[in-house]
């Protein structure tokens, strides 16, 4: 059973078709990358998958269950976790506090504001395990505002992992990173491959081609190709439309 399947997703904003009959799948253990130029509809697609944007037509299924009409929190309860192109963190809280917020949001219908989250040993252990997975154990008591940009990106991954996800949506996790930070993030994502099915939207082609099992190319809202990375790299239509390489006649 596929982790994620979309069938003919369409979303229009006025006269602009942001997603044009998008059909794709993410298989168990697979890292499936979505690439495409700015304005291709990638963010709109991710929004539809997460439940933030309702499609005009088409369907979304998670692990065989149609979730097209479900809200963000309902999809999260079914194991969908996502990161954002712009980090969504509580900057005045510590790294551990941020992950505890994610743990409690997943476990309950409220955030237990009148209870000290640090008193819940199970939640703390889960949060610490997530921080350890992404390499931030030493920064657990560090205010997020003082973390480096790459560390904040790692923290977002930790928050997603702490919700015990079944599927990860990763929206440009390498955005704004230095070369060293990008290298560390690529290594982290490689370590997660096989443990979680992942849909990765990313502009860094080196990262995409080193990480992805399959790549789909989105141009003007339409997927023009889905294939193995090596085949995508050599596809004349993809190179002409997006990768920008000259194609021999």
Q: Between β-strands 31-35 and 214-219, what pairing exists: parallel, antiparallel or unpaired?
A: parallel
Question: Is the same domain home to 148 and 181?
Answer: no
Distance CA 42, CA 28 (A): 22
Identify the helix (H) or strand (E) that includes residue 84. Answer: none
Question: Is the same domain home to 74 and 108?
Answer: no
Question: Is the same domain home to 92 and 149?
Answer: yes
The string of pLDDT tens digits covering residues 42-87 is 999 999 999 999 999 999 999 999 999 999 999 999 999 999 877 7
The string of pLDDT tens digits covering residues 191-220 is 999 999 999 999 999 999 999 999 999 999
Question: Is the same domain home to 189 and 136?
Answer: no
- Which pair of tokens denotes residue 137? 């154990």
CATH number at residue 28: 3.40.50.300
Question: Is the same domain home to 72 and 20?
Answer: yes
Distance CA 92, CA 216 (A): 38
3-state secondary structure at position 219: strand
DSSP annotation of 19: E
Q: What is the pTM of this model?
A: 0.90
Q: How many domains does the chain divide into?
A: 2
Other Cβ atoms less than 10 A from the Cβ of 71: the count is 13
Question: Is the same domain home to 75 and 95?
Answer: no
What confidence score (pLDDT) does residue 49 get? 97
């Amino acid at each position: 059973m596929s982790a994620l399947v979309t069938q003919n997703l369409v979303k229009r904003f006025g006269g602009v078709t942001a997603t044009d009959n998008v059909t794709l799948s993410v298989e168990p253990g697979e890292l499936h990358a979505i690439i495409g130029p700015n304005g291709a509809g990638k963010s709109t697609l991710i929004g539809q998958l997460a439940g933030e944007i309702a499609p005009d037509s088409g369907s979304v299924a998670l692990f065989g269950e149609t979730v097209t009409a479900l809200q963000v929190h309902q999809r999260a309860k079914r194991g969908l976790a996502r990161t954002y192109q712009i980090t969504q963190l509580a900057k005045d809280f510590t790294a551990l506090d941020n992950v505890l917020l994610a743990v409690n949001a997943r476990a309950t219908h409220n955030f237990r504001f009148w209870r000290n989250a640090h008193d819940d040993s199970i939640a703390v252990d889960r949060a610490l395990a997530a921080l350890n997975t992404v390499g931030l154990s030493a920064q657990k008591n560090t205010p997020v505002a003082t973390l480096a940009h790459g560390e904040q990106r790692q923290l977002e991954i930790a928050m997603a992992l702490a919700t015990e996800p079944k599927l990860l949506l990763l929206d440009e996790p390498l955005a704004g990173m230095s070369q060293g930070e990008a290298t560390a993030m690529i290594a982290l994502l490689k370590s997660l491959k096989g443990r979680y099915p992942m849909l990765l939207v990313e502009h860094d082609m080196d990262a995409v081609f080193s990480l992805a099992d399959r790549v789909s190319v989105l141009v003007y809202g339409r997927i023009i190709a889905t294939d193995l990375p090596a085949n995508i790299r050599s596809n004349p239509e993809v190179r002409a439309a997006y990768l920008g390489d000259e194609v021999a006649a």
